[in-house]
Amino acid sequence: MKKNIFFFLLLSVFANAQINRFFYEYKYIPDSNEKADVKKDMMLLDIDKNGSTYYSHEKFIADSTSKADIEKQLKGGFGGNISINRREGPGAVSFKVTKQYPDFKTYLFRSISTDQYKIAEDKKPEWKILPDKQKIGEYNTQKATTSFGGRDWTAWFSTDIPFQDGPYKFYGLPGLIVKIEDNTGSHIMTLVGNKKMAAAASSTEAQLPENLRIIGIGGKELEVTEDQFKKAWKAYVNDPSKNMREMMMRNSGDPNRQMVFKMKTQDGKEISDPNQVFREMEKRTKEALKKNNNPIEPDLVN
């Protein structure tokens, strides 16, 4: 009888090509040396009959706005110059996670410089379900624990919500994960709301000219294993501007391709000399890495 009820609920949930959107407040501490500096981001977990997508609402808006700007400039001819104003806040989460039903094939999407990586996850969370129960918001939940990605996690799931899914790469419990927190309190994801919405029509991304690269937008997407991503990440940490320098070298001999490097220093001064741009890029990257030493999945970048 329970199986029939569960099946009926799933049919109701997915009727009329609907998306079930769950809102998670994500609190995280980027710098382990500054534990009082807690960042927040509103994350979305969109679930439909084919799977789920977990991503930052703030970054989604920023990317959509930037891509609309690019499309407008491309349609206007743009005269060889593209101007991009990135609008997401300094604490915006840049990763995205997708899961494909019914086998929960999981991919993490992350960028390194101008390259976009689709990282296949080959491990699934192994849960220990405990008898502890508590009410979180309007949901009756039960406790479960797991070790994953270099952290120990405690989750609270609700069988009231008929999805064996959750935020980030977490899934496999007999109900939706309402809250999950690592044992250091550095990463906490809590369900704060949900709604049903019609499935949006598929959209195409702005097509950039072949010789145009914008960090965080477009670029080639590489499907890799975790080990391959680790190697790419290590190379980036050791030499943050290598990708851009190689791009410049590849195109330097082509008279039809002219690469222009522009960026502003922290004091607002615009620089365009490639060597200055590369030095500034390396400086900023190394400073950012020092302040972002507490990732959600340490095993992926260490």
The domain that holds 37 is classified in CATH as 2.50.20
169 within some domain: yes
159 within some domain: yes
Task: Identify the domain containing residue 173 by its residue range.
Answer: 2-225
Distance from CA of residue 253 to its chain's centroid?
36
Average pLDDT over residues 41-67: 82
198: helix, strand or coil: strand
If one counts the domains in the chain, the total is: 1
- What's the CA gap between 96 and 107, in Å, rounded? 8
What is the overall mean pLDDT for the chain? Answer: 79
87 within some domain: yes
Do residues 166 and 46 make contact, with C-beta atoms less than 8 angstroms apart?
no
Higher pLDDT, 255 or 234: 234
How do residues 155-188 score in pLDDT, each as one tens digit? 999 999 999 999 999 999 999 999 999 999 999 9
With cut-offs at 50, 70 and 90, classify the pLDDT of residue 291.
confident
243 within some domain: no
43 within some domain: yes
- What's the CA gap between 240 and 290, in Å, rounded? 14
254 within some domain: no
How do residues 207-238 score in pLDDT, each as one tens digit? 445 444 454 455 567 999 999 999 999 998 88
